[in-house]
Structure 1
């Protein structure tokens, strides 16, 4: 009975940590990391690289998200939209989250070392970048772009993991991710315009207003699509890849058409659910195109 109760408690704690870091949101960065790996390897990379690359990505992402929750706990407790989160509700202790961050960052460094020397050397730099995002809303409305820049490290790092070399293509993929993430983070941020202004937090919606913020988000997503089309030409990709970009474009248009900051459920669909579908569509079409068409 003692063992069973301990297992139940451990499972519950694991569930809380999974919710804390929004583990399902790995679908934002992972598909582009896989595309980057496949293109870098000219096919499927070795099982060792796939394994340690995935572990590194998950360790970095979980550590960064938990660190962000730790740094923003005071603001989260004051914002009605986020007051239900784990730290404001004391579902997890601050020390527990701090240990979770340290463990995940250690896993990331170890996994990076198992990939190659370049990844190991760059791993502390990556930790600084993904951790400093948590402070950007305190002094710049460009925090959305910085978040996108941080998440863009996934496909860039994935390329490095395979080749151990710096190249042009992963930085284009990374820029696609940066613009995409920044765009829908701006959309999500429209819910907090009033709170951000009261709390002295910086964001594009609170600084430029609702209408201008949505125009900026559309512009970022337009450039994102243009870069995806550039990759089509640059890498000589096939028609299935273009179909994926077409579907992604339609989904982005839908996303922008259903925005309603007063409707929390609709904003979740626009900011998260549709974008998870977009990344999977681009992944599926890119892989089918690479292995069966191009």
Structure 2
């Protein structure tokens, strides 16, 4: 039994399950707005399974594709995909199973969700290879998580609404912005190995400026989402709070690069949760 528990822990470490906190709130924000309130336990369960299987697929493929790179990077050399805890076959099967689960769950939700599940998986998988030939990898990662609100709306109403696209653009620029900050940790390694990242190509200061621009765009698109969706007081406060939290994130990183992990995990994790809570309050109390 202990062996199986340890193996589960290894897979959990492989995909960093706790990072699901970045996409889940925005899926449910979209579902709440689309349903104009509670969307039901069935969609809640299916939504959780769809979100987690999609993310496990993306992370599993990323770890599978990056085995050679992770093994050479001191920051990632202790990951389960390179230190012998998980072999390549296990990671590949894990990835394939989660891709199948995502498609199956999408089929159970509605026909549009099923048809969109295939291009969504393609986009999620493409991120793993982009860094080998393009600095746009940061934007592709943002797009991958930015699809979450659209998926949430499709699950509830079987359509893609204008406000969901605006919300998705906000998530895309938010994620791309904080991924730029996170990638500053690997700037020297990426230069040495010829990997295409914005920090390694344009330097630290340009990366910080571009990240700030992306986060400004995230705030703009979130504000447009709130306006187009016809939300109220609490939703606008979510935008204001997000603006201050992202400003604090940039303050932390500029002050001390060793605070990148704190900025990445703590600030962004709380941002999604608080955004979600305020949207719920807007629907309940607005």
Instruction: Give the TM bin, normalised by the shorter chain.
Output: over 0.9
> Paired residue for 2:169?
175
Give 3-state SS (helix, strand or coil) of 1:161's partner: helix
In structure 2, distance between residues paired with 1:107 and 1:237? 34
Instruction: Select the residue among 8, 28, 32 that pairs with 1:34.
Output: 28
In structure 1, distance between residues paired with 2:216 and 2:115? 35
> Paired residue for 2:121?
127
1:46 Cα deviation from its structure 2 partner = 2.2
1:240 Cα deviation from its structure 2 partner = 1.6
Instruction: Select the residue among 75, 78, 88 that pairs with 2:72.
Output: 78
> Paired residue for 1:270?
263
1:22 Cα deviation from its structure 2 partner = 0.6
> Paired residue for 2:226?
232
Stretch deviating more after TM superposition (18-27 or 226-235):
226-235
In structure 1, distance between residues paired with 2:125 and 2:140? 11
CA deviation vs aligned residue, 1:4-45 (integer Å, no higher than 9, x gap)? xxx222121111111110100111000000000011111111
Instruction: Select the residue among 41, 44, 47 that pairs with 1:53.
Output: 47
1:284 lines up with 2:277 in the alignment:
yes
Task: Name the CA shift for 1:263/1:232 in 2 (closer, same or farther; >3 Å).
Answer: closer
1:275 Cα deviation from its structure 2 partner = 0.2
CA deviation vs aligned residue, 1:196-238 (integer Å, no higher than 9, x gap)? 1111111111111100100000000011111122223222222
1:9 lines up with 2:3 in the alignment:
yes
In structure 1, distance between residues paired with 2:237 and 2:43? 29
Q: TM-score, normalised by structure 2?
A: 0.97
In structure 2, distance between residues paired with 1:87 and 1:197? 23
1:18 lines up with 2:7 in the alignment:
no
In structure 1, distance between residues paired with 2:157 and 2:119? 19
Task: Name the CA shift for 1:261/1:22 in 2 (closer, same or farther; >3 Å).
Answer: farther
Gaps of 5+ in 2: none
Q: How does 1:209-228 map to 2 (within 5 A)?
A: 209-228=203-222
> Paired residue for 1:252?
246
Give 3-state SS (helix, strand or coil) of 1:84's partner: coil
CA deviation vs aligned residue, 1:112-152 (integer Å, no higher than 9, x gap)? 00000111111111111111110000111111011000111
In structure 1, distance between residues paired with 2:128 and 2:160? 27
> Paired residue for 2:91?
97
Gaps of 5+ in 1: 1-6
1:260 Cα deviation from its structure 2 partner = 5.6
CA deviation vs aligned residue, 1:57-78 (integer Å, no higher than 9, x gap)? 1111011101100101110111
> Paired residue for 2:235?
241
In structure 1, distance between residues paired with 2:42 and 2:99? 20
> Paired residue for 1:4?
none
Stretch deviating more after TM superposition (9-18 or 128-137):
9-18
